[in-house]
Amino acid sequence: MRFGVFWILGLAAGLALAADVKVVEEIVAKVNGDIVTRGELDRSRLALANMAKMEGVPPEKLADMLKERQKNILRDQIDQLLLVQRGKELNINVDPEVTKQLADIQLRSKITDPDKFQQFIREQLGMLYEDYKAQLKNELLTRRVIGMEVGSRISVPQTEIQKYYDEHKADFVRQEEVFLREILISSEGKDAAGVAAVEKKAKAIVERARKGEKFPELARDNSDAESKQRMGEIGWFKRSDLNPQLADVVFKQRKGYVTDAIRLPNGFLILRVEDRHEAGQAAIDDVRDEIMEKLYVPRMEPAVRTFLTKLREDAFLEIRAGYVDSGAAPGKDTAWKDPAQLKPETTTKKAVEMRRKKKLLWTVPLPGKPKVVQTTG
């Protein structure tokens, strides 16, 4: 009787605790040995909303756009897990690239102290440094897998490139343009001695660039302009887009030319001519890469989806009820198997006895047959 009372009291206490339980995280999908959680999906939704705002989506269109994009949130999470897992199977190592990218970010931020740099990452990106490092690694691994398993197998025949060029010649009639990178060494707030020091630094950078140092890296490490985040890239310019003083310099020069340090009111400017378009009809050799990209991209997306479908077909996948993988492989069962709902096999005492008798029956020798002796070991 006392046992029954204690059991009832224990059950009552358990029910009371259960009523107070708050689910702080929930597994939404199992992907081989990894999982997708509800929290991860919520963070992806928030990231989508922030990105839409940065893109300047009008408020009246924001809700519809987010609704459309959010249909693929679970699909995208599963895609990345499958690609990362495939990368590990292929023994792809992106650690050196991760280290280099983090070092580049730290160099641009001009924060030498590791702890302060990690704090900077938390403040700028709203995530822990280790989480950002893992995310960066997964992104690089994903790109490598897609490049190796999909991109390398897509080819665009030269006949198609020629056909596209012949049919779109009007698209390749060029105005005279130059593609530029810049380095700006600021002299703001400097006295005469400070300006002289800035000029000396700018001239030294010009010499380094002309001797073969990579201009993008010089821009990243030395420029005071916002374009340093893009390795100094400032884009294509027509002659009319530039100050006549600058236009007269860069439009007379060939690809690869580095200007002298040009004195401006706020500092010294160095430009490099990265590329140029001459006026008139562009030759096919000058636009081959551009055409290749136009023909390659439409092939790439369906090929990636086909590859991801194959990965799904071969994977262990379970998706909780109420969630939808918009990239699901047709015909594959991904229903959630809740262990709590798997009931043990039950039987009757009589059935067990019958099975025991059948098991022993084969040891009884039949007439005319030798007796079977069981041994162990």
Q: 340-365: per-residue pLDDT in tens?
A: 554 544 445 455 455 444 444 444 44
Distances, alpha carbon 110 to alpha carbons 53, 152, 220, 224, 306, in Å: 29, 38, 11, 12, 43
Contact 319, 28 (CB under 8 A): yes
Do the Cβ atoms of 148 and 90 come closer than 8 Å? yes
Phi first, then psi, for residue 137 (nearest 5°) are -60, -45
pTM here is: 0.64
Helix or strand (DSSP H, E) at 263 = strand 262-264
Q: Give the count of alpha carbons within 13 A of 68, CB side only.
A: 6
Q: What CA–CA distance (Å, rounded) separates 132 from 110? A: 19
Domain with CATH 3.10.50.40 in the chain: 176-278
> What confidence tier does 168 reach under pLDDT thresholds 50, 70, 90?
very high
* 23-173+284-343, CATH topology level: Triger factor/SurA peptide-binding fold (1.10.4030)
Answer yes or no: is pLDDT of 85 > 50.
yes
Q: 177-186 and 233-238: which strand pairing?
A: antiparallel
Is the pLDDT at 192 greater than 70? The verdict is yes
Question: Which ranges in the chain are annotated with CATH 1.10.4030.10?
Answer: 23-173+284-343
Handedness of CA 62, 68, 74, 77 (dihedral sign): negative
Strands 27-31, 173-174: pairing kind: unpaired
Q: Which fold has domain 176-278?
A: Chitinase A; domain 3 (3.10.50)
The amino acid present at 168, given as its one-letter code, is H
Side-chain half-sphere exposure of 154, counting CA atoms within 13 A: 20
C-alpha 318/C-alpha 334 separation (Å) is 5
pLDDT above 50 (res 241): yes
Q: Are 332 and 317 in contact (CB under 8 A)?
A: yes
